[in-house]
Structure 1
Amino acid sequence: MRLTEQQVRSLYGQDVQDRSGAKIGTVGQVWADPAGEATWVSLKTGTMGHHESMAPLQAARMQPDGRLQVPYDKATVRSAPSVETGTDQPLGADQLTQLYRHYQLGEQAGPAPQRMRGAPEVVRSEERLRVGTESEPAGTARLSKRVVTENVQTSVPVEHDEVTVIHEPVSEADRDAARAGIGEEQREMELRAEHPVVAKEQVPVERVRLNKDEVVEEQPVNAQVRRELVDADVPERARRNG
């Protein structure tokens, strides 16, 4: 498996799985051939104290999540020849022979691999705002109907009878038809008058309802976030300009 420089750097401290997906340990060191190609890793398994088991990268593969998977079971890797944690020594011929025999890799070829030194690096982090919204009660809208009393003034036409007394002489032609006589006599006429009458009726006049609209508005959010700054302290003679 050929790895880029970035992938090699990402191996340090990365989980390693066996062929079934079970975790074996984490990568402690990476070993490369004279051409700089990563060929072996040592694994911190937590069971060997200050020693790390060796595993070949020949048939290993990188998982999408960055973990390394080797085509061996956990017991095979954990029982493999080991190196001391943090050693700077290249793998010896005897060590390589034992490793090739342990993993059944066939004939050993080429010079002994050297431990790769990862370029010193730090990871700069920063905080970022994740602004969202949450709903909360903002009160209750309600309709309440109550009764009030108010004065209403209007007018209505009314009729009444009025009496007018009319005096007119009896003509010669009517004198024979008119009955003459001296005595008391009384005649009556019914008079009529209207007066206002008030009655009440209940009629529906209006529908009143509540309608809710969602209104979106921009509301400013102010918060403090932290971020890291990286300062490089490089001697003047070793500093590259540009």
Structure 2
Amino acid sequence: MLSERELSAAIGSTAYGPDGEKIGTVEHFFTDDRTGAATWVAVSTGLFGTRHSVVPAADATLTEGSVRLPVTRDAVRAAPAVPDQHLAPEDEALLRRHYGLDAIPDAGPDAGPAPVTGDDATRDLSLPPQGAPAARHDTVAVDRAAAAVPPATADRTDGAMTRSEEQLRVTLQRHPAKRVRVVKYVVTEEVTVTVPVRREEIRVEELPLDADTAAPSVRTGTGTGLPEVIVLHAERPVVTTEVVPVERVLLRTEVVTEHVQVRDTVRRERVDVDTDGVAAPRT
């Protein structure tokens, strides 16, 4: 039995028989009204896919993208023509007779009819024409979108089809990107500082003889009144370095948001009308 995920993946795939012969292309499935299990599948056959046949899907399997059906290609080609959107009880009984699925196990001579409870109490269980066995349930055609949802929400409108498409869903997952370690190192750079320096120079001052200026008392070594040696002083820069604290560094993390484009391939269903040409009558 195909799961809901396999039902959705099987739409549009190629159907093969038990002997490996190609039967056709899977169009949609018919599910049980009560259990939601896929019971029949509509397959397009023929050279251009213009013929539509309904095939049992209870034992169908999905293998490597293709559907394996438990019937041969000849049995599918000889299947009776029934509506490919909704199966009535008499249509299902006709198909079961064709594929040999209408055998009812012998419950013994004393076995009476099965009790009818719940929704089956209001279901029409009368025998179809020509003495065919009663249909166990009604079936409804579902497309790819309906196969992926529970049976209670499947589209059951006759003559209608639900078109579905895939939408891109992006989720975010947090993962470690990098490790950060704090280290302190010394950077050497050249610094130029301009400082003023002073030096002493000799300057000669001439004063009048009658100027009331107290002459500095200097010691003379000769009779000229001038010192023998004058020492001139000058300043020179002395460079030293000192380590002083200048700032404090704090560590913290912050979230930076950026926009990233995500690209992927999505599929969507398209609905086309397949019209069979009918030749005009010759007169």
Which bracket does the TM-score occupy, shorter chain normalised?
Answer: 0.3 to 0.5
TM-score (normalised: structure 1): 0.45
Please say which structure displays the higher CA radius of gyration: 1
TM-score (normalised: structure 2): 0.39
